A and B are shown apart, each in its own frame.
Chain A
């Protein structure tokens, strides 16, 4: 160990460059991985509803036919019939319609809620108006409560809310059946909208790369179908998913053509997610972070390989002597690895100090995931791991050469 340090010191000129490079790359690589972590960690948490094998069936209106009052007056019946026919299609496990906040779009709806005990405080939440089968299609697992009576217009209306919204509204845990009301509807609207807490939603977010938010699910009032088109979503049997949109479009186009309504598009939610990620820039940020990480890693690999190659060439005599006096060839290889390893460890000390200061100055990107000691530990370990890998990869060729130095030749050169 002492000897290696001495060796490193003796070659301080050449080592200074490598030391500087290892230090800077360590910091930048860590930061890049930390940026990726911000997105990937958030993306790994469940959304609160499952969109795998779920398809978005878009029904739209022909504006010309829509002008006819006779056609318009039957909107609700047409939409319910469309809903029934979609559900009958082979492979469709469940179908639902809903309105309000839609995942992977910028269509989100927001409402404020209060309780009678404290009418001054308003708590906002993203809202979804759903038919009860929404829970089947999106496989929402209620933490508490049930959907009994959801589709029968009850007063006060049933509502599922997230636990955090329940906590803010009722200052702690509330029993099922607790009442609250729509703040703005009461203030400006004509009808009073009181809700009855009938279930607790799991943690919910609008998009994979988002933070958890307060959500409320309430029944979609069938009256709305008289003038608005809801979103239709279906869960498809997993073995029939491939090629489903085309098949469905082909076979259902004419069957879903009713009144002014027609089937315009079918997309999987997975596809919508991909499109949305590109639009939001998430795809670019993530791929850019990984490309830059690969760049750093490759440059370090070249740097280590180059430096150690020169080193073995310079120290042929020494290495030859070592082999001549009985050092095993693997021992020689280890010598090089160890030199690199110690250099990396030494360089990582100031690097960690810099990284620590970046964290302390709050310069890390925490838009989706909060900073934590665990996050720091994991990203730093990942950085060490990548740098170590490159160290070994970079040492391989020079070490291989060093192993094959013939002591007689090397010593003669001296």
Chain B
């Protein structure tokens, strides 16, 4: 054990020497690795930032999103229209087995907003939701609280607003108890939460209002009361699976349709978080697509370095031959070549990680801003970007890349017969 450590140290020293001697090879190898790791890490971070459980979206891995659904006339399939009413939503999703939390909401809207005292109105993002919303999304309350079930049921005009909204409208963070005008209606502020990065496409908003006071409910009577603008998020329990929940919901849809003959309601699918974030399509598996992309991004430059490595090893055939003549095993030679190159890979990898942060920051809007959010800044913070898992992944990617790019030529070299190697054949 101790021996091998001394050995590794020596290998390391030699690697640095080699790096200086073969300056051209080193530059190409490091450049290649840096570009590779930049692309790989950008792809990884886009996936990671969109899908990892991270406050306020703490339950991403267990969330199931309802579609908006659509309904049509049973006899001739005419009058097809999208949307799900409050009643339909409750019938389909209330107290399902294997589901911990159910919350109902509508898609983001923009409304003119102002503090009652001054008339300046700026359009702000508003989310209508029920009281459970604040159990599903773990907001950081700076002051006040979320609105509760009683307030929701009693259709109280209350609001939760973001820190920035509070500061811009009331010039203070402590806006609890003040009145805010949203789309010309007055609401009492009950809570102020820390700003939410628009990276969290579901949790993000500037103002949250009770869905029970939404004026949009007037559309509820279309297609025999099936149509509306409700959406649902289910948080499944740890023990249940998506398919189980999907089956249970399907059963409810069938019950609903058999109870009213004139119209048929079709839920139009439910999606896991990864499906909701990418492609919005059940047929494409986002993890698979991302893994494939990363594999391609790693393998092609690895072929590149393999080729160069082989040319370089040929120059050192004699050295390797001598080592073997003095008793170095195949594995020792292999290990030496892998370790030597890992120094280069690490240098390239660190550069790559740095570049990937720059790239991610510069192109955050088109890489990460989707759905409802397209302008301004996403409000990415260091806490989101510099998580330990990112560094573990970059290290793993470097290791993988190193093995991919050195293994074949090193294996070939280590198998060479000693005399051939020394002769240089």
Contacts from A to B (Cβ < 8 Å): 13-14, 16-18, 20-21, 24-25, 28, 62-65, 184, 187-188, 264-265, 274-275, 278-279, 281, 283-284, 287, 291-292, 295-296, 298-299, 302-303, 305-307, 309-311, 314
Q: Flag whether B184 is at the interface (Cβ < 8 A).
A: yes
Contacts of A25 in B (CB 8 A): 300
User: In the complex, which of the residues B39, B370, B374 contacts A295, with contact meaning CB atoms closer than 8 Å?
Assistant: B39
- For the complex of A and B, 4 pairs with smallest distance between CB atoms: A17-B307, A310-B311, A303-B304, A306-B308
* B417 in contact (CB, < 8 A): no
Residue of A nearest to B409 (CB): A17
Stretch touching chain A among B25-33, B247-255, B330-338: B25-33
Whether the Cβ atoms of A299 and B32 lie closer than 8 Å is yes
Q: Give bound CA distance, A279 to B24, whole Å.
A: 45
Specify which of B32, B79, B375 is in contact with A188 (CB 8 Å cutoff): B79
Chain A residue with Cβ nearest B24: A309
* A22 and chain B: residue at smallest CB distance: B303
Task: Choose one: B301, B307, B369; the contact of A278 (CB below 8 Å).
Answer: B369
Check: B389 CB closer than 8 A to any chain A CB. Answer: no
Alpha-carbon distance A63/B371, docked complex (angstroms): 27
Chain B neighbourhood of A314, CB < 8 A: 311
B301-323 vs A, Cβ < 8 Å mask (1 yes, 0 no): 10110111011100000000000
Q: Do the beta carbons of B112 and A264 come within 8 Å of each other?
A: yes
- Besides A28-B296, A265-B123, A309-B28, 14 other A-B contacts (C-beta < 8 A): A14-B311, A18-B307, A63-B215, A188-B78, A188-B79, A264-B112, A279-B374, A284-B370, A299-B36, A303-B307, A303-B308, A306-B28, A310-B308, A311-B311
B288 is an interface residue with CB less than 8 A from chain A: no
A278 touches B370 (CB 8 A): yes
Question: How distant is the Cα of A272 from the Cα of B69 in the complex, in angstroms?
Answer: 26
CA–CA, A291 to B78, complex, Å?
45
**Contact bitstring B167-186, A, C-beta under 8 A = 1, else 0:** 00000000000000001110
B300 and A21: CB pair below 8 A? yes
Instruction: List 26 interface pairs A-B (beta carbons < 8 Å), by A numbering.
Output: A13-B310, A14-B307, A16-B307, A17-B303, A17-B307, A21-B307, A24-B300, A28-B300, A63-B185, A63-B215, A64-B184, A65-B184, A278-B366, A278-B369, A278-B374, A279-B371, A279-B374, A281-B279, A283-B366, A287-B366, A295-B39, A296-B300, A298-B35, A299-B32, A299-B304, A311-B311
- Which B342-384 residues have a C-beta within 8 angstroms of A? 363, 365-367, 369-372, 374-375
CB distance from B328 to the nearest CB of A (A): 23
Chain B interface residues (CB < 8 Å from chain A): 24-25, 28, 31-32, 35-36, 39, 78-79, 112, 123, 183-185, 215, 279, 293, 296-297, 299-301, 303-304, 306-308, 310-312, 363, 365-367, 369-372, 374-375
**A307 and B307 contacting across the interface, CB-CB below 8 Å:** yes
Q: Is the CB of B370 within 8 A of A281?
A: yes
A66 closest partner in B (C-beta): B184
**Most chain A beta-carbon neighbours within 10 Å: one of B79, B301, B304, B366:** B304
Q: A112: nearest residue on chain B (CB-CB)? A: B78
Tell me the complex Cα distance, A18–B185, Å.
69
Closest to A23 in B: B303
- On chain A, the residues within 8 Å of B36 by CB distance are 299
Report chain B residues within 8 Å CB of A275.
374-375
CA distance A283 to B36 in the complex (A): 23
Given contacts A13-B310, A295-B35, is CB(A305)–CB(B28) below 8 Å?
yes
Nearest B residue to A278 by beta-carbon distance?
A: B374
With a CB–CB cut-off of 8 A, which chain B residues contact A279? 370-372, 374
| Nearest CB in chain A: distance from B348 CB, A | 12
